[in-house]
Structure 1
């Protein structure tokens, strides 16, 4: 089973749209232990510096971007399950994306879709997929085949 307390999300910018905020809050209630840290929108270099100050050496860094690996929900659940509860930090960039050096610093890259999403929607999608992965590994009814 996936232990959500081993995961955190670092996200650039604040959620401004009420409906996205409500969706995120709904899934966060279902994922006690998941940490979400917001970083002020700034230059890519300053954002990278802030992110590197937050992450620990024992964490796996996963950046979200359009060139990352694309998984089905089941494949993502399996990848997370096979991480053997290592500490994983997902990073979602702001409007200007993440710096190339931070992307290359990451252990792996994740794409939620070949489409590009606003950072607020990407955050909602990631949190929903983490919830889905948890229910898949628990055999729960949330994920339909």
Structure 2
């Protein structure tokens, strides 16, 4: 897994200071990873903005409570199998993602069966990406 080949496209800004601090910790741990923030609106307009932001060589991965749940080790293996693919993880706004955009995704990821605010979902995704990288590198961060 190469963080330089991963982007997070997120609807909305991180406003809570403690979440911003956590996001910055993981951004430093994942050099090269990019986060793009889009203006929140309604799901159709947000989907249009996501499609405009997606690069032609990126695989779309949407976050959704209906997505596939992974254990951390499974997510690491799945990301490891993506090889040199460019990945764009998309986190929707308060009203969720447009169904047509979700249908276009290569796969959908569930961080939990619970629903999280988009700010917290961003922090959780970053933590799991860092954990996956550490697992793939055989590092000591992950403990089962």
The residue aligned with 2:101 is 102
The residue aligned with 2:9 is 10
5+ residue gaps, structure 1, are: none
TM-score by length of 1: 0.97
TM-score by length of 2: 0.98
Question: 1: distance between equivalents of 2:13 and 2:109?
Answer: 21
- Counterpart secondary structure, 1:5: helix
The residue aligned with 1:54 is 53
The residue aligned with 2:112 is 113
Question: 2: distance between equivalents of 1:4 and 1:44?
Answer: 27
Question: 1: distance between equivalents of 2:53 and 2:120?
Answer: 23
The residue aligned with 1:30 is 29
Any runs of at least 4 consecutive aligned residues in structure 1 with deviations exceeding 2 A, and if so which?
A: none
Residue 57 of structure 1, CA deviation:
2.0
Question: 1: distance between equivalents of 2:99 and 2:42?
Answer: 13
Question: 1: distance between equivalents of 2:68 and 2:33?
Answer: 22
Q: Number of paired residues?
A: 144
The residue aligned with 1:125 is 124
Question: 2: distance between equivalents of 1:85 and 1:24?
Answer: 24
- Counterpart secondary structure, 2:84: coil
* RMSD of aligned residue pairs (Cα, Å): 0.6
